[in-house]
Amino acid sequence: MEQLQTLNGVPLKKQIARALFKQKVRALLLIAPLLIFILITFVIPIADMLMRSIDNSIVSQTLPQTTTSLESWDPKTAQLPDEATYTALYNDLKQAVEQKNHTKLGTRLNYENSGMSSLFRKVGKDVSKMKEGVSYKEQFLAADKAWGDLNTWNLFKLYSPKYTDGYFLAALDMKKTPDGIQRLPESERIYLNLFARTIFMSLLITALCLVLGYPIAWLLANLPMRTSNLLMILVLLPFWTSLLVRTSAWKVLLQQQGVINDILVWLGVISHSGRLELINNQLGTLIAMTHILLPFMILPLYSVMRTIPPSYLRAAKSLGATDWTAFWRVYFPQTVAGIGAGAILTFILAIGYYITPELVGGTQGTFISNRIAYHISSSLNWGMAAALGTILLTLVLVLYWVYDKIVGIDKVKLG
Q: Which amino acid is at 161?
A: P
* DSSP state, residue 55: B
| Residue among 60, 65, 91, 117 that touches another protein (CB under 8 A) | 117
Which one among 64, 286, 362, 396 touches another protein, defined by CB under 8 A? Answer: 362
Cross-strand bridge partners of residue 176: 181
Residues 368 and 89: their CA atoms lie apart, in Å, by 38
Say which residues have a Cβ less than 8 Å from residue 317's Cβ, sequence separation at least 6: 323, 326
Applying CB under 8 A, which of residues 135, 241, 364, 394 lies at the interface with another protein? 364
- In whole angstroms, what is the distance from residue 299 CA to residue 338 CA? 9
Least Cβ distance, residue 118 to another protein (angstroms): 5
- The footprint of another protein on this chain (CB under 8 A) covers a number of residues equal to 39
Are the C-beta atoms of 178 and 76 separated by less than 8 Å? yes
CB of 342 to another protein, least distance (A): 31
- Distance of closest approach, residue 9 Cβ to another protein, in angstroms: 57
- Residue window 275-314: x/- pattern of binding to another protein, with contact defined by CB under 8 A: -----x----------------------------------
Strand, helix or coil for residue 5: strand
Q: Of all helices (H) and strands (E), which one includes residue 181?
A: strand 180-183
Q: Confirm or reject binding of residue 380 to another protein (CB under 8 A).
A: yes
Q: Is 379 one of the binding residues for another protein (CB under 8 A)? A: yes
Query: What are residue 119's phi and psi, to 5 degrees?
Result: -55, -45
| From candidates 81, 88, 106, 372, binder to another protein by CB under 8 A | 106
Question: Residues 256, 318, 325, 394: which binds another protein (CB under 8 A)?
Answer: 256
Show Cβ contacts of residue 357 under 8 Å, excluding neighbours closer than 6 positions. 285, 289, 365, 366, 367, 369, 370
| 115 near another protein, judged by CB under 8 A | yes
Position among 225, 240, 363, 406 found at the interface with another protein (CB under 8 A): 363
How far, in Å, are 211, 404, 409 from residue 336 at the CA level?
14, 13, 11
- What angle is formed at CA 371 by the lines to CA 370 and CA 372, rounded to 5 degrees? 90
Nearer to another protein, 187 or 311 (CB): 187
CB neighbourhood size of 122 (10 A): 16
Residues 172-231 that bind another protein (CB under 8 A): 184, 186-190, 193-194
C-beta of 398: minimal distance to another protein in Å?
Answer: 24
Nearer to another protein, 26 or 100 (CB): 100
User: Which stretch of DSSP H or E encloses residue 197?
Assistant: helix 191-222
Q: Residues interacting with another protein, by CB under 8 A?
A: 100-101, 103-104, 106-107, 110-111, 114-118, 121, 184, 186-190, 193-194, 255-257, 280, 358, 362-364, 371, 374, 376-382
